[in-house]
Amino acid sequence: MRTNVITSEEREKAFAPTKKPDVIERQKLDVRYHVEDYDVDNRPRRFLEAFAAILKHTNYRLALEHFIRVSTKCSRCAVQCPIYQATGDEHDIPCYRSELLLSVYRRHFTVGGSIKGRLTGSGHLTDEKIEEMAESFWNCTACRRCTLECPAGIDHALITHLGRFILSEIGISPRALVVSTREQLEGKTGNTSAIPLPALVDTLEFLEEDIKEEKGVDIKFPLDKENCEFIFIPAVSDFLMEAETLMGIAAVFKATGGSWTISTENYDAINYGLFYSDRILERVIRKLYAESERLNATNILIGECGHASRSAKYYVPVHCGGEKAKPVLNIMEYTYRMLKEGKLKLNPNVITETVTYHDPCNIARQGWIIEQPRYIIKAFCKNFVEMTPRGTENICCGGGGGTVSIDEIRPYRTLVGGKAKGDQIRATGAKYLIAPCANCKKQLRELVEDQKIDCEVVGLHDLIYKAIILDDGQTENQKTNRKG
Amino acid sequence: MQELLDFARGPLFRLSFIIMILGLIRIFILDVYNAIKAYKRAGDKRLAWGDAIIKTLRWIFPIRSAFTRRPIYSVVSILFHIGLILVPIFLLAHIQLWKSGIGISWWSLPNNWADMLTLMTIAGALALFLGRIGNKGARMLSRKQDYLWPLLLILPFISGYFCANTVLSPQAYQFTMLIHVLSGELILSLLPFTKIAHCVLVPLSQFIIALAWKFPAHVDDEICASLNKKGAPV
Ligand code: HEM
Ligand code: SF4
């Protein structure tokens, strides 16, 4: 990956102040994202207390001990980081970012470090360092590309993840994420977009009518059915913004006869805990799982959303019983399986435009979902072009790690974070950009607008919806043929 | 001079060698111990072993990345490491020392190969050093030890090369040999306490990362209790 550094004009836009001076003064925090008012006294002491508590009850010490020993400061990670590539600022080199927290660990939590620190009277945690971390850890999109490169095997994104967690314990987290999560865990509506249940029911009825009108088929969005094979939970924002994705998914279930349900008590798989706090991550996971138990579903099926899928896939087992926990799938895995088994028919003559596919970091980096969507796309899109790099090495949309939900930093996201992605998209010349992730979709739409790229951002099931063959009779015929 | 050299070759060598071995064993065991502790605490004990193994091999034999990402750096680093590891262990002269010391010996490198590898390592170390100075990002990240290590590593290689390949007066030879032995021993005894610990720890990295992402099952309760945040709103 090679990106040109942004122009000074773009830099000015991306880094323009977003807050009034008196807010910065009051919160003692000169960062671009907004935070709620918090206790600004004794931040270093409280930061260290939180750090200590977290070390005590988690597995991070293992990683930190290892990282401080092997780090060789070679700066190779710089090549991979889309942020550094765009800003050219050494403070954005992943290894520099990590060192911010590693140095605190070394100074305050290792014997050698604290002896040395006391003798020289230096290196202890200060307010300035906390501010620098608060800025740096949220400049990162947690895309985990740098991890691919580090020859010593340091996982810089794990350190960012931990750094944000500690900061959140002293009250420093983007307000946008905290407020949504509060609504999700403690609010009346129980979801991050604050959609009340009656509105959800209305929306679904409306979608059903739409499908009837467009496809001439009766398709229901089943609510609160017990004992289904799948409890389906998308990012709740899909109900507001991604009607076509949802209709596509409903159509796939119709065509394949899958047994599925949407829950009326938890219809939001968004888990901002993955971005700022392991404690929140755990609560959201437990809430999600409880709902799957209430409805006695066999599997948990997450919609087109990268971080929601990753957090459920990897943390349902962690918090809900290990191996015995219900399996978690992403919707694309289901659709892929159905297509492979011949239960899904797609018309190859509907989508003739050039199509490209964006791998959401959270499902692609670890190699989980890469080939499945491509198999589906190639089954009905004639004109498919790849971006390079792709798959496990994909480039982040620029809004990863929760930053996409922070509206006040949009110029930063689309000009800095998404710079490399923009170049990639432009190079494909695609008409449709498939991004099967609620976060990526929002970010990429803003990105193509801000960078003036002519292309439409869609979900995978949006296109499936256009091409799906729902002829009941025909499907029945084929069934009997196969039997015979 | 001769006594000093004998002392350096004898007791001092044994001391530095023991420091290195015990030091490396200590950090390796600490890492493994931490890993086992983390594994016991992990809420989900299924690890992607295969994935970690593949990634580890890829890191130790960075052939693929050598050609895709930063080719020059990678190739230099690989060549540098090859000499660094092979020469000290497989040089005929070193093996003879082992043989006279504890009576074991093994296969040795032909001398002209050893010379070539030595020059390669010196060149590699210099290149890494210059690369570090020449790169703004690396300069910003580097600590003292990052500059010092390549330079320190060059010392035994240069002095050894001179001893083996040039005609020196006896005093000059002894002096050069003393530098060779002492710098070599300094390296051995510093290994475990500096970033060179990576020679035993890097193979564990991928397993450790995989484990670190497996959290314990009740972080919320426990951390809340520790920080007096029980029942506090989000
Ligand atoms: C099996 C053994 C070893 C492995 C797998 C290994 C691996 C690595 C890796 C992955 C790096 C990262 C950066 C790079 O590629 O340059 C590195 C750097 C380095 N290694 Fe090793 N290493 C080993 C043994 C050693 C030994 C025995 C020494 C010295 C006595 C050594 C000295 C160095 C130095 C000085 C660097 C830093 C180069 C720089 O300035 O960028 N390595 N090693
Ligand atoms: S995770 Fe991504 S954005 Fe963050 S430092 Fe690494 S490469 Fe850069």
Interface mutation vs chain B, best among A74, A87, A310, A368, most B CBs within 10 Å = A74
Pocket test residue of A66, A73, A74 for ligand 1, highest count of atoms within 8 A of CB: A74
**Whole-angstrom distance, CA of residue A109 vs CA of residue A112:** 9
Give the pLDDT confidence of A239-281 residue by residue, as tens digits: 999 999 999 999 999 999 999 999 999 999 999 999 999 999 9
- Residue B225: pLDDT band by 50, 70, 90 thresholds? very high
Predicted TM-score (pTM) of this structure: 0.93
**Whole-angstrom distance, CA of residue B28 vs CA of residue B198:** 10
User: Residue A480 has what pLDDT?
Assistant: 40
- Going from N- to C-terminal start, the domains of chain B cover 2-27+52-200
- Residue A175: pLDDT band by 50, 70, 90 thresholds? very high
Tell me what the mean pLDDT of segment A282-303 comes to: 97
> Measured between CB atoms, which of B135, B143, B209 is closest to A75?
B135
Tell me what the mean pLDDT of segment A345-369 comes to: 96
Q: How far apart are the first and last CA of chain B?
A: 72
Give the pLDDT confidence of A194-230 residue by residue, as tens digits: 999 999 999 999 999 999 999 999 999 999 999 999 9
Q: What percent of chain B has pLDDT over 70?
A: 96
Give the pLDDT confidence of B140-171 residue by residue, as tens digits: 999 999 999 999 999 999 999 999 988 888 89
Tell me what the mean pLDDT of segment A382-397 comes to: 94
Per-residue pLDDT at A476 exceeds 90: no
User: Residue A479 has what pLDDT?
Assistant: 39
**Whole-angstrom distance, CA of residue A171 vs CA of residue B34:** 30
Tell me what the mean pLDDT of segment A403-421 comes to: 96
> Measured between CB atoms, which of A53, A96, A185 is closest to B140?
A96
Helix axes of A460-467 and A243-256: crossing angle, nearest 10 degrees: 60
For residue A355, list its beta bridge partners. Answer: A384, A432
| Residue of A402, A397, A404, A340 whose CA lies nearest to A371 | A340
CATH of B2-27+52-200, one of 3.40.50.300, 1.20.950.20, 1.10.486.10, 3.40.367.20: 1.20.950.20
Shortest Cα distance, chain A CAs vs residue B44, angstroms: 4
Residues 6+ apart with CB under 8 A from B211: A59, A62, B35, B38, B39, B42, B47
User: Residue B63 has what pLDDT?
Assistant: 61
The least confident of A44-48, A211-215, B112-116, B227-231 is B227-231
Interface mutation vs chain B, best among A48, A62, A155, most B CBs within 10 Å = A62
- Residue B74: pLDDT band by 50, 70, 90 thresholds? confident
Q: Does A3 touch chain B (CB under 8 A)?
A: no
Residues 6+ apart with CB under 8 A from A422: A414, A447, A448, A451, A453
User: Residue A274 has what pLDDT?
Assistant: 97
Atom of ligand 2 nearest to the CA of A94: 5
Tell me what the mean pLDDT of segment A340-368 comes to: 96
Per-residue pLDDT at A484 exceeds 50: no
The residue in chain A having the minimum alpha-carbon distance to the alpha carbon of residue B42 is: A318
Give the pLDDT confidence of B172-206 residue by residue, as tens digits: 999 999 999 999 999 999 999 999 999 999 999 99
ipTM value: 0.93
Torsion of CA A281, A287, A291, A294, to 10 degrees: 130
Q: What percent of chain A has pLDDT over 70?
A: 97
Atom of ligand 1 nearest to the CA of B149: 35
Torsion of CA A25, A26, A29, A30, to 10 degrees: -30
> Measured between CB atoms, which of A62, A70, A319 is closest to B217?
A319
User: Residue A481 has what pLDDT?
Assistant: 43
- Residue B50: pLDDT band by 50, 70, 90 thresholds? confident
User: Residue B62 has what pLDDT?
Assistant: 63
Q: Is the Cβ atom of A86 under 6 angstroms away from ligand 2?
A: no
Q: What percent of chain A has pLDDT over 90?
A: 91
Three-class SS string for B198-223? HHHHHHHHHHHHHHHCCCECCHHHHH
Q: Nearest ligand, CA of residue B129?
A: 1
Q: Is the Cβ atom of A74 under 6 angstroms away from ligand 1?
A: yes
With contact defined as beta carbons under 8 Å apart, do A356 and A384 qualify? yes
Atom of ligand 2 nearest to the CA of A396: 2
- Residue B68: pLDDT band by 50, 70, 90 thresholds? low
Torsion of CA A217, A218, A219, A223, to 10 degrees: 170
At residue A141, φ and ψ (nearest 5 deg) are: -100, 10
- Residue A473: pLDDT band by 50, 70, 90 thresholds? very low
User: Residue B49 has what pLDDT?
Assistant: 85
Q: Is the Cβ atom of B81 under 6 angstroms away from ligand 1?
A: yes
User: Residue A478 has what pLDDT?
Assistant: 41
Residues 6+ apart with CB under 8 A from A459: A242, A244, A245, A248, A304, A434, A435, A436, A441
With contact defined as beta carbons under 8 Å apart, do A362 and A368 qualify? no
| Residue of B179, B94, B41 whose CA lies nearest to A62 | B41
Copy the structure tokens of residue A257: 């006869």
CB contact under 8 A, B234 and A186: yes
At residue A299, φ and ψ (nearest 5 deg) are: -130, 155
Tell me what the mean pLDDT of segment A161-190 comes to: 97
For residue A329, list its beta bridge partners. Answer: A301
- Residue A3: pLDDT band by 50, 70, 90 thresholds? low
Sorted by where each starts, the structural domains of chain A and their CATH numbers stand as 17-173 (1.10.1060), 182-469 (no CATH)
User: Residue B59 has what pLDDT?
Assistant: 73
A150 or B16, which is more confident:
B16
Torsion of CA B81, B82, B88, B90, to 10 degrees: 160
Q: Is the Cβ atom of B70 under 6 angstroms away from ligand 1?
A: no
Q: Is the Cβ atom of A140 under 6 angstroms away from ligand 2?
A: yes
Give me the amino acid identity at A474.
Answer: Q
Per-residue pLDDT at A482 exceeds 70: no
Q: Nearest ligand, CA of residue A93?
A: 2
| Residue A294: CA count within 13 A, CB half-sphere | 13
